[in-house]
Structure 1
Amino acid sequence: MRGLRLLRAPAALLGCLGVLLLLGGTPAYAHTALKDATPAPGSTVGTGTSVVELTFAQLRPGTTPKVSLVGPDGAKVPVGQPAMAGGSVTCAAVSPLRAGVNTLTYTVTATDGDTQTNAFQFQVADSAQAVTSPTACKGLSLSAPVTATSADTDADDTILGLGRTTALVVLTAVAVVVVGGVLVAVRTMRGTRPTGRRRAI
């Protein structure tokens, strides 16, 4: 029973740490939400779509989100330099899209300075209607799409696909959980270790 009592406290501690790990990553994605997008997540658009538009909440003033696209074959789709319309709408010109599932990735900076990277997918079909330039983007002079060779250099701003700050918090929490698991194993082994042979009478 003593060994069982020793196990209960660390197990409860690990449970709390696990909850903190899950909750710790949530705020980073909650305070800069994607409010609207064209093409929208899960939507189907035509191959002639040439502009993407993303509307965010609570972006850091003076910052411009980064946008990249990957086509159905895994190749990068050329994307022009993103431009801001107002303080929350991001517009970028893209090369004509190929049919299949495309993945759009965006990196934003929240008002507290935290950098976040997220992605969503949409379908492109030859038979679907191409998306016209969103109203918010029509007054902008968008740069022509270029091959996103600089996307690899942006990896320094992220860790495991997450913003640097968020990733460091998650990795620290994981390390704490691992150390806690080692302590539980050590205490369990000590609790079950034989106390020695009894002396014969």
Structure 2
Amino acid sequence: MRGLRPLRAPAALVALLGALLLLGGPSAYAHSALKDATPGPGAKAAPGTDAVSLTFGPLKSGTTPKIGLTGPDGAAVAVGRPVTAGGSVVCAAVTPLVTGVHTLTYTVTSADGDTSSSAFQFEVAEVAEPAAVPSGCQGLSLSAPAGDDGSGTILGLGRTTALIVLAVAAAAVGGGVLTARAMRRAPSSRRKGAAL
């Protein structure tokens, strides 16, 4: 019987830890982790896909989830205002997607008030099946992505590319103006030197 006494303390500790885990489990589960997505992490979608759907645990009523999307060139893809359906499905219209790897970011508030953010990537490829409205989003009125009217582009180029092109053009024009001024001043300074 003496040999069993030292085992009582560790056994009680293990039982206590197990009870704490079981009691703490439901509150941790209440946080809204991503359960499903269309297109989902690592999935392939068809070119022209124009809506995304994310399914979570229960979300806090009255909050608006945030969804961001980056295209294969690193430029932001326009996303419409997200709509929540059934308390856990978030849908948003996006500018029709082009081939390449896209990164989707999201921020949601769970029913218990905790906010969680994360991101995942998916690929748009020619081999994928034709784009369809995700089932959780069918029948919803999704607002058009901001920038579909061209406001997300400058001179028909993505915002980042256009800004680089404009900066290079401005530097070239500025350099040309300085060169022209320097050339105009050069002959007059020679004349002054010759007259002395």
Shift of 1:75: 0.3
TM-score normalised by L of structure 1: 0.56
Is the alpha carbon distance of 1:65 and 1:74 closer, same or farther for their aligned partners in structure 2, counting shifts above 3 Å? same
CA distance in 2, matches of 1:30, 1:70: 29
Q: Secondary structure at the match of 2:111?
A: coil
Contact conserved, 2:30 with 2:57, CA < 8 A, in 1?
no
Contact conserved, 2:31 with 2:112, CA < 8 A, in 1?
no
Give ranges in structure 2 of 5+ residues lacking alignment: 1-26, 152-196
Q: Give RMSD over aligned pairs.
A: 2.3
Counterpart position of 1:82: 82
Structure whose alpha-carbon radius of gyration is higher? 2
Shift of 1:102: 0.3
Deviations 1:158-184 (A, max 9, x none): xxxxxxxxxxxxxxxxxxxxxxxxxxx
Counterpart position of 2:120: 120
Query: What's the % identity of the aligned pairs?
Result: 61
Give ranges in structure 1 of 5+ residues lacking alignment: 1-26, 150-201
Counterpart position of 2:64: 64
Q: Does 1:45 align with 2:50?
A: no
Contact conserved, 2:31 with 2:114, CA < 8 A, in 1?
no
The equivalences for 1:68-147 within 5 A come to: 68-147=68-147
CA distance in 2, matches of 1:128, 1:49: 10
Q: How many residues align?
A: 123
Is the alpha carbon distance of 1:42 and 1:29 closer, same or farther for their aligned partners in structure 2, counting shifts above 3 Å? farther
CA distance in 1, matches of 2:76, 2:147: 7
Shift of 1:29: 9.2
Which aligned runs of 4 or more in structure 1 are off by greater than 4 angstroms?
27-30
